[in-house]
Amino acid sequence: MSATESASLRQQMTDRYLGTEEAAAYLGHSIVQFRALLKAGKIPPPVRIGPRKLLWRQSLLAEFALALEIEQGVIPPNAA
C-alpha cells in the first residue's frame, strides 16, 4: 500500500459520517432539496449501511461545498 493510499484509508476511518438530515443541514438544504440533489447525481455518493440507511462522509461534503462555492464565484479559485 502506497503512502497516498494509506493516508486516504486513515482519512476514511477517522472521517465523520452524517445521516441524511445532518448532511442536508451541513450543506444548508432542506431534506427535500438534498434528496433532489442526490437523485440528480449532484452530490457525493453515500455509503449504504443496511437497506434504508445512507451516510455521507463529511470530508466529501466539505469538498463538494467548496467546489460549488468556487463554481458559483463565491470564492475565487486561487483563494481556496
Task: Specify the pTM.
Answer: 0.72
pLDDT attached to residue 43? 93
pLDDT attached to residue 71? 77
Domain ranges of the chain: 16-71
Q: Which three cell numbers stand for residue 9?
A: 484509508
Q: What is the pLDDT of residues 55-79, one digit of tens each?
A: 999 999 999 998 888 877 766 656 5
Once rounded to an integer, what is the mean pLDDT over residues 30-43? 94
What CATH fold (topology level) applies to the domain 16-71?
Multidrug-efflux Transporter Regulator; Chain: A; Domain 2 (1.10.1660)
Q: E strands, the chain, where?
A: 17-18, 47-49, 53-57
